[in-house]
Amino acid sequence: MSLRPSSRVQKLQESQHVRAMDSPNHRFYALYEQVSQRDVLETAWHQSRTNGGGPGVDGQTFADIEKSGVDNWLAELEEELAALHYQAAAVRRVDTPRPGGKMRRMHLPTIRDRVVQMAVLLIIEPIFEADLPTEKYAYETEKGSLAAIRHVQRLVKTGRTEMDEMELSQYFDSIPHDALMELLARRINDRHLLQLIKMWLIAPIEHTDARGRVARSTRNRDQGRGCPLGAPISPLLVNLHVRRTRK
């Protein structure tokens, strides 16, 4: 289960969601300043800790951070962000088996990057949720496959029995950065926050093969496309792009 944000963060989220709902063309500014606030980072840490997951390319685990002191770790991160010194690390590629013999390729940011991404998500998700269609269930807050099935059941009972089926193959790898950044800029008037997101999109991908050899790819930066599957910010970005392509 996910932890609820602090009362101030929750009020901020509610306020921004209402503003986004009331003003579809409004662009939000000073969002980076909100991301770097200590209570936002603390909420992002707790959410990331609850989500769990393995280490990134630096090998640092949640247990390592807790052993050395979460407060000091967050204070250093807050200082980096406030001074505009934060830089994203490469993401670690992890291939996990799927049913049928296929492999699922995940890209794990470092815990430090995950916490900052979660902080950004806390601030901007309420804004963009106002723009997403209500019938959309993929990667939505408090929505999932069970809720989608119940929705379909209600539609069937009303006589709506036709359905379109499609599969988005390797969709995360195909998302063009320029188009995605344009979508974000329609609501975000804050270059520092947009730079953060672009930084995560073009981060190098590191992979260790079976013989222990480490290689890095700059494919996303070189091709100007791709969104790392496994990063906290990615589901929202994918939802935004899916909405654009279905218009």
Q: What is the pLDDT of residues 6-38, one digit of tens each?
A: 789 999 999 999 999 999 999 999 999 999 999
> Higher model confidence: residue 101 or residue 211?
211
Measured on CA atoms in the order 103, 121, 71, 48, is the torsion positive or negative?
negative
pLDDT per residue over 172-192, tens digit each?
A: 888 999 999 999 999 999 999
Mean pLDDT of the chain: 87
| High-pLDDT (> 90) share of the chain, % | 68
The label of the residue with tokens 């969601």 reads 17
Would the pLDDT of 2 be above 50? no
Q: What's residue 139's pLDDT?
A: 47
Neighbours of 34 (CB within 10 A): 19
Residues 6+ apart with CB under 8 A from 232: 48, 51, 109, 114, 117, 118, 121
Chain centre to alpha carbon of residue 230: 8
Residue of 118, 113, 93 whose CA lies nearest to 235: 118
Strands 214-217, 103-108: pairing kind: unpaired
Show the beta-strand stretches assigned E in the chain. Answer: 91-97, 103-108, 205-208, 214-217
Q: What's residue 237's pLDDT?
A: 94
Helix (H, G, I), strand (E, B) or coil at 99: coil
